[in-house]
Amino acid sequence: MSITSYIGRFAPSPSGPLHFGSLIAALGSYLRAHSQQGQWLVRIEDIDPPREVIGASDNILRTLDAYGLHWHGTVLFQHQRHQAYQNQIDELVANDNAYYCQCSRKIIQTSGGVYDGRCGRHQPRLTHGAIRIRNRVKTDSFVDQIQGHVIVDKHFAEEDFIIKRSDGLYAYQLAVVLDDAYQGITEVVRGCDLLESSCRQISMFSQLGLAQPSWLHLPLACTEKSFKLSKQNNAPAIDIIKPQASINAALAFLGQQTVDYDSVEVMLEQAIEQFNISTIPAKKEIVLSARNS
């Protein structure tokens, strides 16, 4: 298979085993990349050690292998990228594009629930606390390949958001943008739980002068309305002994034709051949039947 300029990725956090919702994101991004004759990368987003489960990273990679979801190149672990994150933060602070903030959640709640930028106006400048980007772009809408024209709350779009936490951990919004740029990701395929935060990432791509990917957000698998399958909600791990049924269930969820039971490699080949982006449901979530959940 020839490689085009398309580069996609699957970027799970090691907070537990892959569940059916994870499989939808993994399979959807894999099929999209391969249908474009592109590359599919795997990145382990391990920047939040308190949420990590020991052995989860290895378990995730073994599960992807069992499902035939083989990635190109080597796996990138975010913990390997700390210096790159810090270098970018240092540059932002030095150029007054980021600043320290000491506001607690309680303070923000009492001022209306949205951070008002007060620490960015503080004189003299604060020298410790969380670090917020001085959000100069304020993106409040974008076009998604599945969800169409997405518009977010104006106050959310304008907020100076955190890029390094007060406990010293790097924030997702910073890490994901720098890593997508570093890996040359041309399209982000993931679940709708991250739909709104895409606006913040678009703002950061623009502010840092980085090439922005296109966006494709898949519907979330929910056990009931607004209650998605997740590791935090103890969603059961997918079967790595007999993965065929889960693959077909994920294909059906994504509006794709199911494939003949065979080896996972043969099933995926057939799924790639008949992949059709236009049949993916343009919904933010889909409630699973009791039989499938």
36 or 228, which is more confident: 36
Q: 3-state DSSP call for residue 158?
A: helix
136 is in an annotated binding site: no
Instruction: Give the per-residue pLDDT at 228.
Output: 77
10 is in an annotated binding site: yes
12 is in an annotated binding site: yes
Check whether 292 has a pLDDT greater than 50.
no
Check whether 1 has a pLDDT greater than 50.
no
Instruction: Give the per-residue pLDDT at 293.
Output: 42
161 is in an annotated binding site: no
Mean pLDDT of all residues belonging to the chain: 94
17 is in an annotated binding site: no
Instruction: Give the per-residue pLDDT at 36.
Output: 97
Check whether 9 has a pLDDT greater than 50.
yes
Q: Please, which residues have CB within 8 angstroms of residue 41's CB and are 6 or more apart in sequence?
A: 7, 8, 9, 10, 71, 72, 73, 76, 183, 185
Report the amino acid identity of residue 202.
I
Hey, what domains does the chain have and what are their CATH numbers?
7-80+184-193+213-283 (3.40.50.620), 82-172 (3.40.50.620)
- Phi, psi values for residue 150, rounded to 5°: -105, 130
CA distance 31 to 133: 35
101 is in an annotated binding site: yes
Check whether 3 has a pLDDT greater than 60.
no
Instruction: Give the per-residue pLDDT at 232.
Output: 65
pLDDT digits (tens, 9 = 90+) for 116-132: 999 999 999 999 999 99
Report the amino acid identity of residue 117.
G
119 is in an annotated binding site: yes
pLDDT digits (tens, 9 = 90+) for 139-190: 999 999 999 999 999 999 999 999 999 999 999 999 999 999 999 999 999 9
Instruction: Give the per-residue pLDDT at 265.
Output: 96
State mean pLDDT over 2-28.
92
11 is in an annotated binding site: yes
203 is in an annotated binding site: no
115 is in an annotated binding site: yes
13 is in an annotated binding site: yes
pLDDT digits (tens, 9 = 90+) for 67-112: 999 999 999 999 999 999 999 999 999 999 999 999 999 999 988 8
